[in-house]
Chains A and B, each alone.
Chain A
Amino acid sequence: MLWVDKYRPKSLDKVVVHEDIAQNLKKLVTEQDCPHLLFYGPSGSGKKTLIVALLKQIYGASAEKVKVENRAWKIDAGSRTLDLELTILSSTNHVELTPSDAGFQDRYIVQEIIKEMAKNRPIDTKGKKGYKVLVLNEVDKLSREAQHSLRRTMEKYSSSCRLILCCNSSSKVTEAIKSRCLNVRINAPSKEEIVKVLEFIAKKESLQLPQGFAARIAEKSNRSLRRAILSLETCRVQNYPFTDNQVISPMDWEEYVAEIATDMMREQSPKSLFQVRGKVYELLVNCIPPEVIMKRLLHELLKKLDSELKLEVCHWAAYYEHRMRLGQKAIFHIEAFVAKFMSIYKNFLISTFG
């Protein structure tokens, strides 16, 4: 088992990084009145861990007994019946799913499941009616229709079912939903927190972790706790005992993006743009989200740029990223950004060196 999983806090009490949030959640649950919740924050910050711990807090150990199944729904949608299939993860008291997997028919899934949960609501040990929890992942990818259908059902069935929504950015969640939930922002852990976690793990594994090395791992991790722990384990596998200047093996895709950035700096022409396009395609094929590519690319470029260009390049990166999020074909916009950068850079080179 990876350290990431091994040292994942199982209950709210043991949460290290977002301790204050965990305590608040615990208070919420123990008062027996849990509102709908919306967790949002960057990946690797611990949303999922918190949710799982919260579920355990509510339902006890039975929340840990989960099963995965492929469920098929027959949905009567007006004139036709739809056959939808989705993987869901469930325990006796909760259901967890990613409705955006159903594509544009996600709203049927949302409605159907909520109704189903409301239908057979559990009876609490005390004899009074309890509630079930529905965990929806990647809510920001839900279509607008699904979100709209969600907001009414949330109210209608709120006596029997609570929603826990989880997403990376709350900007794509409609205001209506946001206002019906308790919004919980999970920010990326700070470097100090990461170092703390790493040291904790090292202690548990009885490793000698030099102070500087932990800091370097934290530095390289982009404030993603998962990544930090994984790279710690990688380093452990590759070379132990740790030395202060040990190589922390980088992510392959990040190196690839760095290559692209170098290409862009070296030659500015349609031809080199064409090569860049091929590489961007490669990245996209390997399931790296385009936003991440864009961000990383800018990051790599900023490392190499003169300070006077930085502002302009950042501006255009933001501009094209915005367009990318509005549009559908990410490659168009990434490429447009690359072209724009090339144009700016070439102008700059000519004006500086003549």
Chain B
Amino acid sequence: MEFDIPLPEELELLEANSYYPEEEDDYLNFEEAPYPYDEEKEEEERVAQKELHVQQPDSPEINGIKRPRSLMSDPIVNLDEVSPASEKRSKIGDNRVEMEDEDWLRPSPVKEVVHAVEEEEEVIPPETIFSRYASEIDGECFPITAPDGGERVYAKFCRALGDEEVKKLDVKAKSNGLIKDPISVLLQQSEKEAFNKALQTSSEDQNETITAETPVMHEKLWVDKYSPSSFTELLSDEQTNREVLLWLKQWDASVFGSEIRSTTDEVLSALKRHSTTSHRQKSDSAFTRKNQFSRWSKGSSTYPKNSDVSNSNPTDNHDMWNKKSKLTGSPEQKILLLCGAPGLGKTTLAHVAAKHCGYRVVEINASDERSAAAIETKILDVVQMNSVTADSRPKCLVIDEIDGALGDGKGAVDVILKMVLAERKHATGKENINNGKTSSKKERRTAPLSRPVICICNDLYAPALRPLRQIAKVHIFVQPTVSRVVNRLKYICNMEGMKTRSVGLSALAEYTECDIRSCLNTLQFLNKKNETLNVIDIGSQVVGRKDMSKSLFDIWKEIFNKRKMKRERSNDASGSEAKKFDFLHTLVSSRGDYDLIFDGIHENILRLHYHDPMMDKTVSCLDCLGASDLLHRYIMRTQQMPLYVYFSSLVIPIHRRVAQIQRPTIEWPKSYHRCRTLMVEKQESLRSWYHKIPPYIGRHLSIKSFVEDSASPLLHILSPPTLRPVASHLLSERQKDQLAGLVMLMCSYSVTYKNAKPNPALSDLREDAASEATVLALDPHLFDFISFKGRQLKHHILTLAMKQVLVHEVEMQKILQASGGRSGILNNPEEVKKTNQELARKTIAASNECHRNPVTSKSPSVPVEKNATTSEAKSSDVKKASRTALNFFDRFRKSRKDYEDPEDVQKRATAKRDSRPLLFKFNEGFTNAVKRPVRMREFLL
């Protein structure tokens, strides 16, 4: 590990800066901070910084932190702001610092160099008390309450510390909070130090300058060069940053926690007591402080984020603290899911935050193998190493672009889900273990997650992520403000010596939608070409737009939302319109999913609040939708895919008509698909019902026109209002007939009543029956077909008792039919008829039986025609009979006499029939088997 001399310097300055806000707030009266040399060192440092920028590419990471860059952003401003206070402060506690300083300065450099990579706790022997406490909240900085005064000081730890005396001094001074040295001593000291440093840097400089001037250095991408290395440099939303960090911090208990707490329990409690009191005092000022934070972080000061967290919501922090001391568990949501547009800094945040908390980042991205097995081993490697070995920090897994390759990404998602669920089971299993130890073995198999896992995606609503979304803690990145991005850009441009105007930069930022990566790439490109950023032709000059494919919700939002464009409006309205036109066009066409886009428009358009007194807008919008439908159908039919390009232009008139400034509430288009699936369901139920109906009736029914023509009357007929639920012998003759007819009808249409669960949709239909426990509903739910939302059914509904009677009768009838059919096959029709008649007498309903039995029509002695239709039935029946009587061989016989008189045939048929009193006939169903009449005696032989 090599150390650059200027680097520690910077670190130190960074620390110095980092104390300002806190001290300003808390310690204006207790002047203690050692800033005597700040002013003097400024000059040197600026020089050093310059050099450093050149060097940095060489050593971008030292000890795993990329801290130094941050403070270069604007150290001077910071110093200026604070300097009056700090000067005063430095007076106190000076000598003490110096003394203590000397004590442990000597060993430390050696030690530090050796242990540079080690855990912070191990790095500094004397401060362990403070550091332990701090590490519980944070790896790098910590609040300290002096035992005598009760004031709080924030001391900062750095893994890189130790090579520089000044730094140690600094820390020491802070942590003690009692600097008693006079300013003069301190000044002297610092001067000496500065001198030494100057010497060192100059010597270093000579080596470095050579490399610095090589052109290779410039080839480094600005994006990498200036990527934030510390938490406070992040451009992304403060809130998100903090929450991410908080989440990571919650792991501390399980990852670092145990050994730390074991040593320092009493110290901890003492300190906690102090800090709570101080916090209580300070809680009023929390708000003002918070405001300052944002200012500070904007000015890219390096503010210790730990204090940030703890101060902005002290109570939260303490709650967490208490919780943690109780249980060593990890946070409730094991997975963090970051999502947002590209270039907003998700990956950077994940890396920075993880490093900040003392983790080593292991990244899996789209370039790695992402099969489930590979991911699993990797995660197991990373996540399940519970012991923290001496030379490595615990790992934190970052799965980048988890939504990227859906097929592969799904493997990763599944593995993670499995582990998280295993954890859950484990948690519940623990309770079980108390009762019986049976389940313990099972849980061993899939080990739980014990390290933080951060997943990063662009599209939160990617289908593969759906399960992950439910269990993960989701953070959605929003765009940073333009001014923030511009500040950063400006700073970088200054560093690179590129001349830009903030107008141009802000235009660029707006154009790329605050995608700082693309901004930087563009700038670097322009710089390379020695061009300057031009506001007007940014569109043509800039290398190109990235291919933005936004989520569907964003597209709908764009369509329905009109942006207030003050500036552009004032410039030229037509230009902005054209731009909007272009924008929407590319937006929609890059997404592609036209069908769904138009469904979404259709779903949401009527819920917008646009002013449309004459409905003109609505009409034209719906016409556009209709046109899109026609186009879609046409394309599908003719397979002319090139026509798809015209879809996106259909969106624009809709946008022009209905776009509003207020934000629309957009819903996913469900209703159309709901309608379709329901319709298909109902059609299916109709179809399966038709199959149950005997074909001579069923063939005449069509699914298409059933509801249109027949449903309502059929239901009316099925539930006659005149039918009374009384015992059958009490019924009058006519009522008996009616009941019999109804039962026959229900049988032939295979409709029956069945016990159904009281369906909420149905319950309002059967008003009286719904209250009872058993609800009898029509078996094919025919009532569904005529029930419409918001409409009362006018159908008479049978009483429960009546339904029960009907169910009984129908069942009986069905059994009769089945047995009748069987007997028809087995033996002679006479018997069938006889039994049939008997049965008919028993149940009122069987009168129709003979009609269903073509054989029966043969003997005129039986009252076949009781209800077997018309007068001409007789003749046709006879004819039919003569036909059906023919078997396969008869056909040939018959062909001879084909031209005989039909009367003759008939006569002969009757004669033949009379000659054999018993007839076996294939009666029902369908067969290709040879059929012929057989005498009874042939059986008897």
Q: A residues within 8 Å of B by Cβ? A: 1-2, 4-8, 10-11, 13-14, 43-44, 48-49, 52, 60-62, 64-68, 87, 89, 91-92, 96, 125-127, 137-138, 144, 204, 224, 226-227, 230-231, 233-234, 237-238, 249-253, 255-256, 259, 268-271, 273-274, 277-279, 281-289, 292, 320, 323, 326-329, 331-333, 335-336, 339-340, 342-343, 346-347, 350
- Specify which of B618, B698, B883 is in contact with A68 (CB 8 Å cutoff): B698
B772 CB to nearest A CB, Å: 25
Given A281-B675, A284-B679, CB of A234 within 8 Å of CB of B623: no
CB of A43 within 8 A of CB of B748, answer no
Kindly list chain A residues whose C-beta atoms are within 8 Å of the C-beta of B636.
328
CA distance A87 to B744 in the complex (A): 26
Do the beta carbons of B695 and A66 come within 8 Å of each other? yes
Query: Contacts A1-B748, A271-B606, A346-B614 hold; do A60 and B679 have CB atoms under 8 A apart?
Result: no
How many Å lie between the Cα of A256 and that of B708 in the bound state?
A: 12
Q: Which 7 pairs across A and B sit closest by C-beta, in order of nearness? A: A230-B713, A343-B615, A336-B622, A61-B880, A327-B629, A252-B786, A274-B606
Contact of B895 among A126, A230, A259, A339 (CB under 8 A): A126
Distance A8 CA – B869 CA, assembled complex (angstroms): 10
**Given A62-B884, A287-B686, A347-B614, A43–B709 Cβ distance below 8 Å?**
yes
Chain B residue contacts of A2, Cβ below 8 A: 714, 717, 745, 749
Q: Which residues of B contact A204 (CB under 8 A)?
A: 870
Question: What 15 new A-B contacts, CB under 8 Å, besides A259-B791, A332-B625?
Answer: A67-B695, A224-B709, A237-B716, A249-B713, A250-B712, A251-B708, A252-B711, A253-B707, A271-B606, A287-B704, A287-B785, A326-B634, A328-B636, A329-B629, A343-B619
Which residues of A sit under 8 angstroms from B607, Cβ to Cβ?
A: 274
Q: Which residues of B contact A227 (CB under 8 A)?
A: 709-710, 713
Tell me the bound Cα distance from A83 to B761 in angstroms: 37
Q: Return B192 CB to nearest CB of chain A, in Å.
A: 80
Complex Cα–Cα for A328 and B626 (A): 9
Please state if B785 and A270 are interface contacts (CB–CB under 8 Å).
no
Give chain B residues whose Cβ lies under 8 Å from the Cβ of A6.
Answer: 869
Q: Is the CB of B672 within 8 A of A287?
A: no
Residues of chain A within 8 A of B848, CB atoms compared: 1
**Which residue on chain A has the smallest CB distance to residue B719?**
A237
Query: Given the complex, which residues of A lie within 8 Å of B606, measured CB to CB?
Result: 270-271, 273-274, 277
B788 and A233 contacting across the interface, CB-CB below 8 Å? no
Q: A43-B705, A89-B695 are in contact. Are A256 and B788 (CB under 8 A)?
A: yes
B926, A7: Cβ atoms under 8 Å? no
- Give every chain A residue within 8 A of B854 (Cβ-Cβ): 61
Q: Is B633 an interface residue (CB 8 A)?
A: yes
* A275 CB to nearest B CB, Å: 9
Give B683-710 as 1s and 0s: 1 = Cβ < 8 Å from A's Cβ atoms.
Answer: 1001100010001111110111111111
- A1 to B717 CA separation, bound complex (whole angstroms): 11
The answer to whether residues A255 and B696 also contact, given A43-B705, A284-B679, A335-B622 and a CB cut-off of 8 A, is no
Q: Enumerate 25 A-B pairs (CB-CB under 8 Å) in ascending A order.
A: A1-B744, A5-B696, A5-B697, A64-B696, A92-B928, A137-B702, A138-B704, A226-B710, A230-B709, A230-B710, A230-B714, A237-B722, A249-B716, A253-B707, A253-B708, A259-B791, A287-B704, A320-B626, A323-B630, A329-B629, A331-B602, A332-B625, A336-B623, A336-B625, A346-B615
CB distance from B869 to the nearest CB of A (A): 6
- When the two chains form their complex, are residues B706 and A270 in contact, meaning their CB atoms are under 8 A apart? no
Is A60 touching B880 in the complex (CB atoms < 8 A)?
yes
Q: Which of B478-523 touch A at CB < 8 Å?
A: none
Most chain-B Cβ atoms within 10 A of its Cβ — which of A137, A250, A329, A331?
A329
- Known contacts: A65-B926, A227-B709. The answer to whether A327 contacts B614 by CB under 8 A is no
A339, B788: Cβ atoms under 8 Å?
no
A274 to B602, CA, bound (A): 10
Evaluate whether A339 and B926 lie within 8 angstroms (CB atoms) in the complex, with A1-B848, A329-B629 already known. Answer: no
Query: What residues of B have a CB within 8 angstroms of the CB of A125 in the complex?
Result: 891-892, 894-895, 898
A333 CB to nearest B CB, Å:
5
- Residue pair B675, A5 in contact (C-beta under 8 Å): no
* Contact between chains at B614 and A96 (CB < 8 Å): no
User: Bound state CA distance, A62 and B883, in angstroms?
Assistant: 8
B566 at the interface (CB under 8 A from A): no
Q: Are A48 and B619 in contact (CB under 8 A)?
A: no
**In contact, B622 and A332 (Cβ under 8 angstroms):** yes
Is B876 located at the chain interface by the 8 A CB criterion? yes
Residues of A within 8 A of B707 (CB): 253, 286-288
Assembled-state Cα–Cα distance A342/B622 (Å): 13
Q: At the interface, yes or no: B789 with Cβ under 8 Å from chain A?
A: yes
